[in-house]
Structure 1
Amino acid sequence: MSALILWQLNTWILCWMNHYKLQQVLCVVPTFKFHRVLLAASSDYFRAMFTSGMKESQQLCVNLPFLEASELEALISCTYSGSIQLNWGCVFEISCTALQLQFQHILSMCLSFLEKEMNAHSCLDVASFAEAYGMQELLETANKFVLRHFQNVATTPKFQDLPANKLRKYLKSNSLLVTSELVVFKAVAVWIEACPSKRLRFAKELMKSIFFPLMTDNEFKEVKTAKLWTQCNTKRLYQTILEDFHSYYIAPRTLCRVYQPKDSLVLVGGDQISADLSRQNPSRELWFGNSLKSYIGLVKNVEWRLLTEMPNPPRLSHDVAVLAEKLYVVGGQDYSGRLNVLKSVYRYDPIQNSWERLADLQEKRCNFSIVVFEGMLYAIGGDSDPETNLKSVESYCMNTDSWSFARPLDMTLSCHAATVLDGKIFISGGYHQRYRCLTSMFTYHPERGTIYLADMRQPRAYHCMETLHGHLYVAGGITLDEDKTSIDQLTCEVYDPVTDTWSAFTNLPIPHVGAASVVLEGMFYVLGGYFKDNYRETRLVHRYDPMLQFWENMGVMPGPNTDIRACLIHLPNHLRKCQNI
């Protein structure tokens, strides 16, 4: 009987077999009675045993002395019921047995559990398991978890059992995410102190992975008082570290901790402010942040590299989205003697490093928002020309390469912000008609329409809004003063969808009007823009840390600053290894 026939048989007789599970029919395994046909349909191992002329195919009883009864019982139960109860006490053993007996479906469930339920206490075990069984994808996932949660992982008992070569590899990785060099030192010290007689010989090499000059004086005081230096033969090493720490007075600007995020922050298009409009020149450039660098003290920046250029025309006041690992650039404006509103759409494939022209929007639009919702793109509101706001919404279907109108908004709207949280599209602020700046917040559904929520504390337009830790963070843009004059908006606020309330968080240090924004590694980035009061460009990148509750300077923009857009996308390694620009 072929594999296809067996699986089809499995579908319609499953309930019948479950009823007769305890009857002695066909094959008997140690302490279990089982239907041979279902066993063969579920396992390549048993399919070969029962259908390839092996002696077991004729036996009423098959001995499996290499299996634990509890593990086999779990596999049998899952084969009949289609579900399996997994926990950290049994998942590795069941995974091993499923792999050994080639229960592919059960193995897939085990691997899914390992990935989704991984935590600081289990990630090192997952990595060891994946390495032992050659599961490269799972190993990569586990290693990335260790690197991104290093501070918490380093406090677990399993961390103290790491082999020296694995610890060395983690410390040298550009994906190691730490808040300070003191975190790295404490981890190394704990590891050495767990078995000093065998591990002190690795101390000098491991300490080379720590950038002591990047520590503050208070941080280095903790290094100085570490229990590690009470061990014999460590005084000379401490003296070397002390000299290294003091070298910050003469340390080169290139000394830094480099961290490479999994996803790349990509900047698309934009403009640079010029008093002479005839010289206005929107950009075709796409820049990406290849890594984040931490220098001495609080100095940090983004290492920018040029990714590619989009097809003509160059554009500003557009919007971008990522769907199915491809970047969409939609609408906006170009400038050829005057501003022209666009309806053209392009898609960038980072794997092929190529562009594709897609179907045009139904309406030309700029100063709008685009979101990914239920597998489709939604272009919301905007301006069709400098005098006309839109209330229309369009959806894009990848399968048909077509735009179609969805349910319109309740009002015309432009220069607003939109994002998706918990399966809902949230829209904040913006302009209604030409000069009316709004405080509104509402959800929009393409079929059910609009539900209004609590208003923001102040009117706001040309601002940023991002989803972070189940809340909506709003920053930048412009607001209105008592005379209804547009001014820079420095105050920031966060929306809690559970309580339908707004609360303030730390003000921006400088204005960011018409800026780009993303959330990267749990941080809220606001990039570029301009000052409303004097139309001076904001060349800086600021990042908000919700844990520390402050904005930090992340360096300067690589090219255009205003009416620019940003997104996160996973870039292939060959693009990230190119030469710095």
Structure 2
Amino acid sequence: MANQRVRVEESVFSVDRALLTRNCEYFRALFQSGMRECEQEEIHVKGLRARGFMVTLSVLNGERPILNSEEIIEAIECAAFLHVDALTKHLINIINSDNCLLMYHTAAIYGLWELYHSAALFIRDMYSELKDDVRCLPDELLEYVESLVPNTYVTVGTHSPSIKLLQDCQRTVCYLDEDEKDWKVLTDLPVDASTTMAGVTVLNNKLYIVGGVRDVTNQVAESCYCYDPALDNWSTFMGPQQHRYNFTLVGHEDCLYAIGGEYDRTTMSSVERYNLSTCTWSFVSHLPRPVASAACTKAMNRMFVCLWRPMDATDIYEYVPAEDRWVLITTLIRQQSYGHCMVAHKDNLYVMRNGPSDDFLRCMMDYYNLTTGQWTAMPGQYQNSKGALFTAVVRGDSVFTVNPKMTLEYIIEEKKWKPKTEMNGFPRIGSMWTFLLRLPKMGKPPRGHGVLNGYEQNLENNVYCEKSPSLQCAD
């Protein structure tokens, strides 16, 4: 039979039997058991609540509901009892500062360990903001959060390959020491690595650098690099099939996506995907139009790209991996003059852009809510006297914007960003990439622990490099 009647409390649901078999381990085992219940027209599931089962069905049907506290508890019950991976993933995707403690505690009660760990990591990243609330947690839950490593802000600037015997001491990946409000060196870039017009992203707590050019001829660097902070080493892997530079690299669900870019003076719409499990690149659906250096972000584990038509409109597309297609989500009609970037917080996409051509340093912002489908103009101008803010990364309810003169932390509040902490800027010229990494707890400072501002370095940064960093093929 196509449909199966399922009774939960006093409610009866008519559900596609194949849908339940594919997505719920409980029903799959039941239908394959040969027990009498699996032949009944109506199956009575006890111990769950109807509203939680309704949320489960909505997720299985492709919806992405934003849940209140009671719905979260009942959904966790269903995810744990019925073993619904899709529901667990949805709950992980909607963790935020309002529900993280509830998610964490409830997941611990029902043994939903993937959600438990994800919520604990989120709490660890916001520990200082949540320190009064976390005291309400049982001791063992608090101890687990405190055992985890928080995300750290990391930045790398624009660099070309260096001479092997005389490596530029500024060719470094740096992290933000928030206690000292300054940037410090995490690791050197490999000698042959280029970040000039490269693709840079983080996936599974590893830093990936793809492509980049070697000199003014825009010769594409052949080797790509991966940095693992847990091992403090670099490895190499093969580059995309299509040579490209000035493209966007995004890490999503164990894959890297090289989006658009340029090659031989031609802007491209092609997109390639690198599968970490097979170590292979393959082409996926092209973008709707050619684009270079597109702004991309992820919200609730969904991947979005911002296609900018100068002085006219900004189209935001979502890539749906399961269907291998690009879907137009929204269009913003707004005059702008220079550049743009996009970050996400909860179910909001924030688009920052330069203002009218007579004031290209003025940074204006709008945000698009994925749930309501509405655009909202942000009040004020997001700028400072030391430069426009076009490099940003979100952690919890904070967003850090970086330029060579100043690093500024904002608190994201409803319809505005509120300045919180000003720190030293990242003292590099040219483009920069900012991201998050969980750096291991170390008994000694990272390599090159000297302060960046003023270019103070420890001794080993000021001597000739006798050998390049250890490189090996990525697994």
- The normalised TM-score by structure 2 is 0.60
1:481 pairs with 2:357: yes
Q: 1:388 aligns with which of 257, 261, 266?
A: 266
Task: State the distance in 1 between where 2:418 and 2:129 align.
Answer: 20
Q: Which residue of 1 aligns with 2:13?
A: none
Q: Would the alpha carbon gap of residues 123 and 394 (structure 1) be closer, same or farther in structure 2, given more than 3 Å must change?
A: closer
Whole-Å separation in 2 of the counterparts to 1:146 and 1:496: 26
Mapped partners of 1:125, 1:11: distance in 2: 26
Which of 284, 289, 292 aligns to 2:178? It is 292
Paired residue secondary structure (2:383): coil
CA distance in 2, matches of 1:494, 1:396: 30
Alignment-derived partner of residue 150 in structure 2: 262
Equivalent position to 2:330, from 446, 450, 453: 453
Deviation at 1:411, TM superposition (A): 2.1
Between the two proteins, the alignment pairs up a number of residues equal to: 364
1:545 correspondence with 2:411: yes
How much does 1:475 deviate?
A: 2.5
Deviation at 1:378, TM superposition (A): 1.3
1:404 aligned residue: 282
Pairwise CA distance, 1:123: 7.1
Measure the CA separation in 2 of the matches of 1:507 and 1:261: 35
Deviations 1:152-177 (A, max 9, x none): 66369x75x999xx9xx99xxx979x
Give the counterpart letter for 1:376 in structure 2.
C
Residues 1:392 and 1:138: Cα distance change in structure 2 (over 3 Å): closer
Q: Spell out the pairing of 1:125-204 with structure 2 (5 A cutoff).
A: 145=123, 148=126, 154=132, 159=136
Contact 2:220 2:244 in 1 (8 A): yes
Corresponding position of 1:419: 297
Aligned partner letter, 1:286: V
Contact 1:317 1:564 survives alignment (8 Å): no
One of 297, 306, 310 as aligned partner of 2:186: 306
Percent identity between matched residues is 18
Structure 1 segment 432-447 matched on structure 2, within 5 A: 436=310, 439-445=313-319, 447=324
Match of 2:5 in 1: none
Pick from 427, 440, 448 the counterpart of residue 572 of structure 1: 440
AA aligned to 2:340 is H
Long gaps (5+) in structure 1 = 1-9, 20-72, 75-82, 92-104, 130-134, 177-259, 273-280, 294-299, 529-537
> Which has the larger helix fraction?
1
Secondary structure of 2:201 counterpart: strand
**Structure with greater Cα Rg:** 1
Q: CA deviation at 1:443?
A: 0.8
Gaps of 5+ in 2: 1-28, 39-45, 48-55, 57-68, 74-79, 161-167, 451-475
Contact 1:282 1:315 in 2 (8 A): no
Does structure 2 conserve the Cα–Cα contact (< 8 Å) formed by 1:325 and 1:570? yes
Q: Is 2:192 the partner of 1:318?
A: no
Give the counterpart letter for 1:409 in structure 2. L
| Paired amino acid for 2:366 | E
Structure 1, residues 105-139: CA drift from partner, whole Å, max 9, x if none? 98x99xx99x9798657979999x9xxxxx9x979
Alignment partners' CA distance in 2, 1:144 and 1:399: 26
SS of equivalent to 1:320: strand
Q: Give the strand-richer structure, 1 or 2.
A: 2
Separation in 2, partners of 1:355, 1:143: 25
User: What TM-score results when the alignment is normalised by the length of structure 1?
Assistant: 0.50
Code of the aligned partner of 1:472: L
CA separation of 1:439/1:266 partners in 2, compared to 1, >3 Å: closer, same or farther?
Answer: same
Taking the aligned partners of 2:347 and 2:188, their CA distance within structure 1 comes to: 33
Shift of residue 519, structure 1, vs aligned partner? 0.9
SS, match of residue 454 in structure 1: strand
Report the aligned-residue RMSD. Answer: 4.9
Within 5 Å, give how 1:194-343 maps onto structure 2.
262-270=150-158, 284-289=171-176, 291-293=177-179, 301-335=181-215, 339-342=218-221
For residue 468 of structure 1, report the CA deviation from its aligned partner. Answer: 0.8
Cα deviation for residue 286 of structure 1 reads 0.9
Q: Residue 238 of structure 2 aligns to a residue in which SS?
A: coil
Q: Which amino acid is the alignment partner of residue 267 of structure 1?
A: T
Structure 2 distance, partners of 1:403, 1:421, is 24
**1:487 and 1:339, CA in 2 relative to 1: closer, same or farther beyond 3 A?**
farther
Structure 1's 420 and 558: CA in aligned 2 closer, same or farther, altered over 3 A? closer
Sort the Cα spacing of 1:121 and 1:408 in 2 relative to 1 into closer, same or farther, 3 A.
Answer: closer
Higher relative contact order (CA 8 A, sep 6+): 2
Given that 1:264 and 1:569 are in contact with CA atoms closer than 8 Å, whether structure 2 keeps it comes out as: yes
Taking the aligned partners of 1:307 and 1:261, their CA distance within structure 2 comes to 18
Q: Which residue, out of 20, 35, 40, partners 1:16?
A: 35
C-alpha separation between the residues in 1 aligned to 2:271 and 2:123? 39
